Structure 1
Amino acid sequence: MGTVPATRTPRAGRDLPVAVGVGLGLGAVLLLALFVRKEAFVVLAAAAVALAVWELAGALATRHVHVPVVPLLAGGVATLVAAYAAGPEALLVAVALTCLGVLAWRLLEAPDVHPPAERQHPEPLLGAGASALRDVTAGVLCAAWLPLLAGFAMLMLAEPDGARRILVFVLLAVCSDIGGYAAGVLWGRHPMAPTVSPKKSWEGLAGSAVACLVAGPLAVGLLLDGAWWAGAVVGLAAVATATLGDLSESVLKRDLGIKDMGSLLPGHGGVLDRLDSLLPTAPVVWLLLTALVPA
């Protein structure tokens, strides 16, 4: 989102030309998968969620939290496929089974799954039971954050005009990010959450709102034949959820003491760093489009 520029440098010190190039490349891959065949987009989304799960598990491991990766990866892919093929009920059932799988996997592991180096420096008063509870809780968080929220994008995709709905959803999240960045760099002076993300500004948030108020009515009207006011409502909702998603990941990264969740995408960080605003936006856009712009 928007930034408060102490000096006129790219956000978080990133290489802006590289970031733009990678972003355009990702957009091209997304469009190709989306409009060639819907199932290709399901595969692309499943791969993104799997990579995000892997990144998040690695980041949590730096603080001695070891989530069961295998059931999360298998359950994440199954959740997206179930949501696309069978709807909301299947999505919820798949997430519930994933959480049960996380619990069972952790309980069936060896009593102490932590490496010897960690056992030499245990956290104070943290017994084996507390360690298992922490790992399971983190695993449930991963399941609720990644495959569950991504599953709502699959619900949109399953509609007859699903490809266009996904395009509206992604376009609004991207416009929120670009509008916030541009306004923050040009006019950002008042930090929005200085203890969480000092570079986020209220001026950047206003830029995100303006961008989505323009993009929402245009996208919903041109792509879905919806009313302009419905597009405005969806656009404003996307600003709120994208901003909250960005700030939420910033809180987690600050607590973990890391800058990015990964390094797979030059100029962006990890896959999860690109999904942070998309994931919480998916269920809200799905709900509003279902209510205001029926397929």
Structure 2
Amino acid sequence: MRDELEHRLDQARDQFEATNERIKNRTGRDLFAAIGVGVIAGGGVLASLLFVKWVFAILAVGIAALGVFEFARALQARGRRIDIIPQLIGTVIIITAAFWFPSAVHWTSLFMTLALVIVWRVLIQMSARDGRIYASIFSDIIVGCFIPLYVPFLASSALVLARQDDGELWVLAFLLVVVAADTAAYASGLAFGRHKLAPRISPGKTWEGFAGAVVVSAVAGALTGEFMLGIPWWAGVLFAFVIVGSATMGDLGESMIKRDLGLKDMSSWLPGHGGVLDRLDSILPSAVFALALFHLLSPLGAA
């Protein structure tokens, strides 16, 4: 009996590895490693949101800082002069201001960060004496200012939302919809994908995958709206439609950036996922829309 059990376990392991390898060859991702990382990260975010919101804010600072770091390093590898120190300082300032300070301070923190990035680059360039032309210097400054706008400022919208009354539930709801949409797009695209959604930007995405994401996210939105947010089911569906649209645009936007940089992933820090920014691409713009939808739809819960 022991030999038979060991034989069955060996067969199951071989089938598991073969299935994983087929999926990896088709999608370029280690599915089971991705699931493991996703479960661990999701558990940490869920626990912090529901029990200690300030821990979520600290996690957000760390995650955004990692995203900024890998984005800056990817740009540096392509010849851009990006100063990492002011980028990380600005990330901490923006995320911290979004959660612990009034909105006026939040906006001021963004302008402070942009000023810091510009002044730092000018001073470094003045001392470099490398003959770099003005057009290149100006281009470096523009790209350097894009990083805090793209990563920490968009991410800070989730912190502004989290500090509202029951805001943690809205953050959790939009994250659930994004995860449901990403998972459904991956699964339905893998099973039924035939027609490319944006072949010049992201050849792996299909209209069939997008359709699956819309259907599953609509169900997730209706359920979270009715049972978590206290709004009508149709408002939850509307919430999901907007979030799946912003998540798709964010995914395609980051794919366009990576294609311009000649990269498949921003880094290889997260097994099965790529880099931190590869996981934030759908979340960053969705945080802004989730904050707007909170102000638009939350009064329906009190009606």
Same fold, TM-score > 0.5, yes or no: yes
Distance 1:262 1:113, change over 3 A: farther
Extract unaligned runs of 5+ from structure 1: 1-6, 120-125
- Correspondences of 1:196-215 after superposition (within 5 Å): 196-215=201-220
Q: Deviations over 1:198-225 (max 9, x none)?
A: 1100011101100111001111221111
Match of 1:189 in 2: 194
Q: Distance in 1 between matches of 2:214 and 2:284?
A: 18
Flag the structure with larger Rg: 2
Q: Shift of residue 251 of structure 1?
A: 0.8
CA distance in 1, matches of 2:103, 2:203: 38
Aligned to 2:224: 219
Q: In 1, distance between residues paired with 2:289 and 2:128?
A: 38
Q: SS of the counterpart of 1:192?
A: strand
Q: Distance in 2 between matches of 1:129 and 1:113?
A: 13
Q: Which amino acid aligns with 2:294?
A: L
Report the Cα offset of residue 93 of structure 1. Answer: 1.7
1:52 aligns with 2:104: no
Alignment partner of 1:70 is 2:75 = no
Kindly state the Cα deviation for residue 111 of structure 1 after the two structures are TM-superposed. 3.3
Give the Cα–Cα distance (whole angstroms) in 1 for the partners of residues 147 and 206 of structure 2: 28
* Residue 9 of structure 1 pairs with residue 23 of structure 2: yes
Distance 1:113 1:250 in 2: 33
Per chain length, whose mean CA-contact separation is higher, i.e. which structure has more relative contact order (CA < 8 Å, sep 6+)?
1
List runs of 5+ in structure 2 lacking aligned partners: 1-20
Q: Does 1:171 align with 2:185?
A: no
Point out the more displaced range, 211-220 or 66-75: 66-75
Q: What residue in structure 1 maps to residue 7 of structure 2?
A: none
The structural deviation recorded for 1:8 is 6.1
After TM superposition, the runs of 4+ consecutive aligned structure 1 residues lying more than 4 A away are none
User: Is contact 1:215–1:235 with CA below 8 Å preserved after alignment?
Assistant: yes
1:290 has 2:295 as partner: yes
* Cα-to-partner distance string for 1:139-193 (whole Å, 9 max, x where unaligned): 1110110111011101111012122111101101101101111110111100011
How big is the shift at 1:113?
5.1
More helix by share: 2
Work out the CA distance in 2 between the residues paired with 1:112 and 1:248. Answer: 35
TM-align CA RMSD: 1.8
Find the aligned partners of 2:126 and 2:108 in 1 and give their Cα distance: 29
3-state SS of 1:268 partner = coil
Are 2:137 and 1:132 equivalent residues in the alignment? Answer: yes
AA of the residue aligned to 1:293: S
8 Å CA contact retained: 2:197, 2:205? yes
Q: Is the 8 A contact 1:249 1:276 kept in 2?
A: yes
1:14 counterpart letter in structure 2: R
Instruction: Name the CA distance, whole Å, in 1 between partners of 2:102 and 2:231.
Output: 23
Taking structure 2 as the reference length, the TM-score comes to: 0.88
